[in-house]
């Protein structure tokens, strides 16, 4: 994420600028392992973001818990936060994050303006059951 | 040559099947006369129950109630001014005891000492925080991971796990994937217990493949639409494209060599 923000990959030219506060952010990038202790705070940051909002889960650890198959790690951030795009990789290349951002822009363009059709909050879990996170 | 062992099912078996395998131990030697450690031993006197040198490092066994006294002597008389590590080892299954250790460093003579004591399950140890400030966090971690209480500690609470955590994770009885409480911790905390059914249990199998999942796994030989309902009875013939894949069952149209 640092590399994609810096001059070589340069997020700014795609209109992506890092913000210091979740209240000014549209996209949340979960970059790395989420421990169970911090799951609550990550969810709180997500709740503080204003609608419309999107989430990118970056890397194996955020996607599934990765190599940390232990008692203290959240096994996939989609257990607590609805995720739009999952980035594979351990760690993902800067290009991967750039590409994910482009895919997300594509996804946003396809979405209709009214939030009625926003199915983002319908979260289908790995077991195939439909969950609704409010 | 190595003895032939059948390799079928080898991944399911335990690594060590030898019941009589003895883990090699580090050689121990006695304290030499006239060395720095001999002076330390003289200062310690009767407090030491057992002592030996392991990899150039003195190991002394003491009684758990003497720990503050011994540590004070080591710091003030022998010059061991740093406590680099302090923790415990779980021997509850074998002896119903913990082995506590303190790793001390003398920077003027470049020597290390390990102080070891055996603490009964449920007993408390005296804090050495007044002597070594680094013991503050180490003792909190020991309390967090093993549940060993420390007397006269300035601020004894969990350091790594959340405050409302149940169980002590470094105990040998604690499962690696966590107990019931651990596996639902974040769900219970954020959404409440009624959300357990909606979110579902954790997937602890990294190689899990669900045949009914049409969102993340493709079908071999044919395609289904994204997130389509799984139909068990549907029989889709495996069709190979003539252009993309070579069907070796048929003769190719172009026979390059007549002799084949």
A73 closest CA partner among B194, B24, B169: B169
Distance from CA of B257 to the nearest CA of A (A): 46
Closest partner CB to A40 (pick from B189, B195, B212)? B189
Comparing alpha-carbon positions, the chain A residue that sits nearest to B178 is A71
Q: What is the mean pLDDT of chain B?
A: 84
Rounded to a whole number of angstroms, the distance from the CA of A16 to the nearest CA of chain B is 28
A69 and B206 within 8 Å at the Cβ level: the answer is yes
pLDDT in tens, B151-207: 999 999 999 999 999 999 999 899 888 889 999 999 999 998 998 988 888 888 877
Strands B50-54 and A85-87: unpaired
User: Is it the case that residue B67 has pLDDT exceeding 80?
Assistant: yes
Q: What is the ipTM of this complex?
A: 0.75
Average pLDDT over residues B128-149: 93
Q: Which residues of A touch B (CB under 8 A)?
A: 36-37, 39-40, 43, 64, 69-72, 74-76, 79-80, 124-129, 131-133
Q: Give me the pLDDT at residue A126, please.
A: 40
pLDDT at B230: 76
pLDDT band at A132 (very low <50, low <70, confident <90, very high): very low
Which residues in chain B are contacts of A72 at CB distance < 8 A? 160-161, 169, 178, 182
**What pLDDT was estimated at residue B130?**
92
pLDDT of residue B12 exceeding 70, the answer is: yes
| CA angle in degrees (0–180, nearest 5) for B114-B119-B121 | 145
Put simply, the answer to whether A72 touches B199 (Cβ < 8 Å) is no
Q: Is the pTM of this model over 0.90?
A: no
**pLDDT, mean of residues B84-105:** 92
Residue B184 sits at the chain A interface (C-beta within 8 Å)? no
Q: Which residues of A touch B158 (CB under 8 A)?
A: none
Q: What share of chain A is helix, strand, coil (3-state, %, to 5)?
A: 40, 15, 45
Cα separation, B188 vs A36, in Å, equals 11
Pairwise CA distance, residues B166 & B182, whole Å: 8
Percent of chain B past pLDDT 70, that is, above it, reads: 84
Q: How far is A58 from chain B (nearest CA, A)?
A: 17
Question: How far A12 CA lies from chain B's nearest CA (Å)?
Answer: 31
CA angle B159, A21, B192 (to 5 degrees): 55
Tokens of B238: 């495996």
Domains, chain B, in order of start with CATH, read 10-151 (3.30.460.80), 175-208 (no CATH), 209-260 (no CATH)
- CA gap B112, B40 in Å, rounded: 11
């Amino acid at each position: 994420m640092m590399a994609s923000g810096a001059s070589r990959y340069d997020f700014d030219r795609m209109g992506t600028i890092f913000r210091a506060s979740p209240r000014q952010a549209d996209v949340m990038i979960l970059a790395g392992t989420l421990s169970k202790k911090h799951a609550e705070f990550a969810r709180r940051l997500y709740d503080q973001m204003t609608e419309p909002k999107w989430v990118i889960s970056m890397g194996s650890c955020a996607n599934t818990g990765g190599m940390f198959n232990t008692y203290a790690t959240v096994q996939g951030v989609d257990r607590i936060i609805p995720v739009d795009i999952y980035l594979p990789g351990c760690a993902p290349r800067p290009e991967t994050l750039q590409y994910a951002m482009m895919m997300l822009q594509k996804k946003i363009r396809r979405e209709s303006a009214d939030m009625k059709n926003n199915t983002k909050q319908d979260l289908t879990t790995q077991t195939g059951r439909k969950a609704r996170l409010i | 040559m190595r003895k032939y062992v059948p390799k079928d099912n080898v991944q399911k078996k335990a690594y060590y099947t030898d019941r009589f395998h003895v883990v090699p131990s580090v050689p121990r030697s006695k304290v030499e006369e006239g060395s720095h450690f001999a002076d330390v031993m003289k200062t310690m006197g009767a407090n030491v129950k057992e002592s030996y040198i392991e990899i150039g490092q003195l190991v002394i066994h003491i009684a758990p109630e003497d720990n503050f006294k011994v540590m004070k002597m080591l710091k003030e008389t022998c010059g061991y001014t740093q406590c680099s590590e302090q923790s415990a080892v779980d021997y509850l299954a074998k002896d119903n005891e913990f082995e506590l250790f303190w790793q001390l460093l003398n920077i003027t003579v470049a020597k290390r000492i390990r102080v070891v004591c055996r603490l009964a399950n449920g007993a408390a140890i005296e804090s050495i925080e007044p002597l070594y400030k680094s013991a503050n966090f180490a003792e909190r971690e020991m309390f967090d991971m093993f549940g060993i209480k420390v007397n006269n500690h300035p601020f004894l609470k969990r350091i790594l796990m959340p405050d409302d955590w149940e169980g002590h994770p470094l105990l040998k009885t604690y499962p690696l994937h966590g107990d019931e409480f651990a596996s639902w911790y974040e769900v219970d905390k954020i959404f409440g217990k009624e959300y357990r059914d909606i979110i579902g249990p954790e997937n602890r199998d990294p190689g899990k493949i669900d045949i009914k999942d049409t969102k993340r796994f493709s079908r071999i030989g044919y395609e289904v639409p994204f997130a389509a309902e799984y139909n068990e009875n549907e029989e889709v013939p495996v069709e190979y494209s003539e252009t993309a894949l070579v069907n070796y069952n048929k003769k190719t149209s172009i026979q390059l060599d007549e002799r084949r």
